[in-house]
Amino acid sequence: MKIEIQGLNKIYPNGNHALKDINLEFGTGMFGLLGPNGAGKSTLMRIIVTLMKPSSGVVLVDGKDIQKHRKELRRVLGYLPQEFRFFTALKTWEFLDYSGSLAGLKNKKERIAEVDRLLDQVGLLEVRDRQANRLSGGMKRRLGIAQALIGNPRIIVVDEPTTGLDPDERIRFRNILSQLSQHDVTIILSTHIVGDISSTCQGMALLNKGELVFSGSPENLVKHAEGHVFKLNLNQYEYDMVKERYNVISTIPVETGWEVQIVSDDAPEFSSTCIIPNIEHAYVYYMEHKLHTDITD
Ligand code: ADP
């Protein structure tokens, strides 16, 4: 499904301008929304899932304004909010069964078959009879995604799904999402963790303080940082100077002092090697560096 966001603004009643004239467009596959805490990601997601109204601007799904077609949209939507809690003592399968009823799956036999299929998909079939609120943090997140998937949604919105997960669970979660993205669905994933955005995201946007600072492919973001990431070998005296003048992104102690990576518009005054940037370098370059200069695509 095609999603178009046009001139979107959100000003909270207390005057917080959380989204500033956001324009974005994307289709099926995975779309990553990246930015630090407070950037406006959750606000944008809550508007997309029609839990909140924008102050101005529109979101169109296949050309239809979501505010005017809420019911229709909700039928094709799955949402995993940032704060997803189980307040009930239901068993894992019962919780999902209940979510299925809410999603409109009326036939009990079919619904239970779907519950078990989804539990299997997210690796929770073995704990189907455990109380949902007794699952581990990672398992709860996976049950959360299963809940978002029941009813076969065409648009899946997941808000910061990997926060607080250990590395194993994070990889597992990412794999579930990337498998889903092969099924002609649109997945919108928000995160403040750069590593969550990978080549599985066809498109991505970078938000900062309510502003859209980049939209395009992850590869394109990385291209912006080409020629701006340098590796230097420094003694303590040089290292202290570099720390003052440049944006240091990694420091490793070596026999002769320090091996340091920096992002900089121009080659530094110290002997250095230009290195191939990765997405984390690109993120730092964009957020810390480019923001202070002009941003051109
Ligand atoms: P993110 O999800 O990127 O962390 P949010 O969308 O939660 O960002 O918040 C964006 C901005 O809006 C922040 O400055 C936040 O403090 C503010 N904000 C969020 N919710 C509210 C609210 N209900 N009332 C007032 N300000 C809010």
Is residue 51 within 6 Å of ligand 1 at its C-beta? no
Task: Name the band, by pLDDT with cuts 50, 70 and 90, for residue 296.
Answer: very low
Query: What average pLDDT does the structure give for the chain?
Result: 90
User: According to the model, what pLDDT value does residue 87 have?
Assistant: 66
User: According to the model, what pLDDT value does residue 112 have?
Assistant: 95
Is residue 40 within 6 Å of ligand 1 at its C-beta? yes
CA–CA gap between residue 48 and residue 156 (Å, rounded): 10
Return the DSSP state at 12: -
Is residue 38 within 6 Å of ligand 1 at its C-beta? yes
Q: Where are the domains of the chain?
A: 3-217, 223-296
CA–CA gap between residue 209 and residue 202 (Å, rounded): 24
User: According to the model, what pLDDT value does residue 290 have?
Assistant: 58
The CA 191 to ligand 1 mean position distance, Å, reads 14
Pocket test of ligand 1: the residue of 12, 20, 33, 190 to mutate, having most ligand atoms within 8 Å of its CB, is 12
Question: Coil, strand or helix: which one is 73?
Answer: helix
The CA 139 to ligand 1 mean position distance, Å, reads 27
Render pLDDT for 92-141 as a digit per residue (tens, 0 to 9): 999 999 999 988 899 999 999 999 999 998 999 999 999 998 998 888 98
The CA 173 to ligand 1 mean position distance, Å, reads 25
**pLDDT of residue 3 exceeding 70:** yes
Kindly state the tokens that stand for 149.
């998937």
Pairing assessment for the beta strands 56-61 and 155-159 based on DSSP bridges: unpaired
Kindly report the protein residue whose alpha carbon is nearest to atom 5 of ligand 1: 40
Instruction: Give the right CATH number for 3-217 from 3.30.310.10, 2.60.120.260, 3.40.50.300, 1.10.1660.10.
Output: 3.40.50.300
Round to the nearest angstrom and report the end-to-end CA distance of the chain: 26
b/e per residue 264-296 (b: at least 16 CB within 10 A)? beeeeebebeeeebebbbbbbbbbebbeeeeee
User: According to the model, what pLDDT value does residue 294 have?
Assistant: 46
User: pLDDT above 90 covers what percent of the chain?
Assistant: 70
Render pLDDT for 132-181 as a digit per residue (tens, 0 to 9): 989 988 889 899 999 999 998 999 999 988 877 888 888 888 888 888 88
The CA 16 to ligand 1 mean position distance, Å, reads 8
The CA 59 to ligand 1 mean position distance, Å, reads 19
Distances (CA, A) of 201 to 99, 141, 186, 224, 241: 28, 20, 11, 17, 38
CB 82 within 8 A of CB 159: yes
